[in-house]
Amino acid sequence: MKRILTLTFPLIITMWNRNVTVLWLAQLISSMGDAVYQLALIWLILDLTGSPIITGLVAMSAYLPAMFFGLLGGVFADKYNRLTIMHVANISQSLTVMIIPLTLYYGVADAMLIGILAFIRSSFGTMFPPAMNAFVPEVVAKDQLFKVNSVIATSSQLAYLIGPAMAGILLGIISLNRLFIFDALSFLAASILLLFVIKPKNRPPQETHATFKQLISGLHYIIKHRSIGYLIILTILNNIFIMGPAIVGMPIFVKTTLGGTASDFAFVEAGMAGGMLIGSWFMYKSSHRLSNGVLLLLALIWDGITYSFFYWIPSVPAAIVMIIVHGMGIPVITISRTSIIQKNTPNEYHGRLFSMVHLAVVGMTAMSSALVGILAAGMDVRYVFLIFGSGAVISGLIGLLSKQIRQLN
């Protein structure tokens, strides 16, 4: 981790501009809130209901908005001011998530109400990723995009390391309910930081077509450019097999199979982030050795293999070690995929293309979470990891058959 921090901070301060520094810090703070929120939400539902099925359905409600509004988020990013969209997304999420601790304080919350609030929060959240990813090329030279994406990605990895670890410590002092307040404040802090972004002088022209026509033109683009279409299909397959076990399977595994506590789960989540930091460092060092397409496919297979190994994990410490190994592949996937789209597609399509990727990631997370919850209610959750991990490996091997994807850089 020391090597990663030594690499990251000098690059932020000296190599790039003020905008990259602000975006990195804003992403770090809001992602810390996200990490704490995800941990608190799932564990709260498990405590309230004790039901894997209800836990899976609430997790699904937090990700369903991507299926309904994900593509519109990309259209907005291509049509309206991307920085303004990021502000709206942050402030709206902050106000929504604050309702959860208030309802818990007054004793009126139940799983259904929390699920509705999670749905609303995520609805606003769908606007942020395509706007953020489309904004970066406006303020960064094309030949620096890969390294900038790698460093910005470390903000999320650091956040998912610091956030859960901090939550694990705080849970010994405060109640689980108060962790939601931290998430709300993190969004406000990130929005304040974004006020210091210097707007680009030569902003790419925004499309002025009707929203529906923009959406259709984005779909036509991925149909015409098959390599990008294949990339999105692979993203769909991978997230069906990976995200459900991560969001729903892991807390059930820690709580029921390993007999762990909320703090144990927090440190397992922190282990995931530790592995992601290592993966980000690997991406920075390997950027000129392998194509982005090959790195992406190898990481998909890595994800599946490491998840399958959870079938044999006997304890919380062993789970932490394995999740570190698993987490190493995640930034390899996200950084490669982001760089492929930024470097191989026109800027005016970036918002829509990133919203399609976000739709694939978060939409499939919703479906996968519900499915894992249902399966975990009828079988040992270890079998769920074995089955879904094997499916991820197969999807990655299928991707290796595509020469078009392997050659993407």
pLDDT, residue 407, reads 73
pLDDT band at 309 (very low <50, low <70, confident <90, very high): very high
Contact assessment for residue 302 and residue 391, using Cβ atoms and an 8 Å cutoff = no
Per-residue pLDDT band for 301 (boundaries 50, 70, 90) equals very high
Which tens digits make up the pLDDT trace of 6-59?
444 444 444 456 777 888 888 888 888 888 888 889 889 988 888 999 999 998
Which sequence spans correspond to the domains of the chain?
19-198+211-406
Tokens of 43: 């564990």
Q: Which DSSP letter does residue 327 get? A: H
Residue 233 pLDDT > 90, yes or no?
A: no
Q: Is the pLDDT of residue 141 over 80?
A: no
pLDDT computed for residue 1 by the predictor: 47
Pick the closest to residue 126 from 94, 97, 85 (CA basis).
85
pLDDT at position 15: 42
Choose the weakest-confidence range: 63-67, 120-124, 252-256: 63-67
What secondary structure letter does DSSP report for 109? Answer: -
**Residues of the chain with pLDDT > 90: what percent?**
25
Task: Give long-range contacts, CB 8 A cutoff, 24+ apart: 194-201.
Answer: 194/22, 194/23, 194/26, 194/83, 194/86, 194/87, 194/90, 196/18, 196/22, 197/18, 197/19, 197/22, 197/23, 197/83, 197/139, 198/17, 198/18, 198/19, 198/139, 199/83, 200/138, 200/139
pLDDT digits (tens, 9 = 90+) for 340-378: 888 888 777 777 777 777 777 777 888 899 999 999 999
Give the contacts of 380 (CB within 8 A, at least 6 positions apart): 257
* Token couple for 302: 């890595």
Q: Which tens digits make up the pLDDT trace of 118-131?
A: 999 988 887 887 78
Burial class (CB in 10 A: 0-12, 13-18, 19+), 111: middle
Residue 76: the pLDDT is: 78
Residue whose tokens read 């597609």: 345
- What pLDDT band is residue 189 in, cutting at 50, 70 and 90? very high
Exposure b/e, 358-377, CB count within 10 A at least 16 = b: bbbbbbbbbbbbbbbbbbbe
Among the residues of 80-202, which ranges form H helices?
82-97, 99-105, 111-125, 128-139, 145-170, 179-194
**Angle in degrees, CA 254, 252, 62, rounded to 5:** 125
- What sign has the CA pseudo-torsion 388, 249, 306, 316? negative
Give the integer Cα–Cα distance in Å for 41 and 64: 15
Query: Which amino acid type is present at position 308?
Result: S
Q: Which architecture characterizes domain 19-198+211-406 according to CATH?
A: Up-down Bundle (1.20)
Burial of 394 (0-12, 13-18, 19+ CB in 10 A): middle
The whole-number average pLDDT for the span 394-406 is 82
Of the candidate ranges 1-15, 77-91, 132-146, 226-240, the one whose mean pLDDT is the lowest: 1-15
Q: At 134, is the pLDDT very low, low, confident or very high (cuts 50, 70, 90)? A: confident
Q: What is the pLDDT of residue 342?
A: 82
The percent of residues in the chain predicted with pLDDT above 70, rounded, is 88
Does the structure show a pLDDT above 80 at 304?
yes
Residue 122 CB: number of other CB atoms within 10 A? 20
Are 328 and 275 a contacting pair, CB within 8 Å? yes
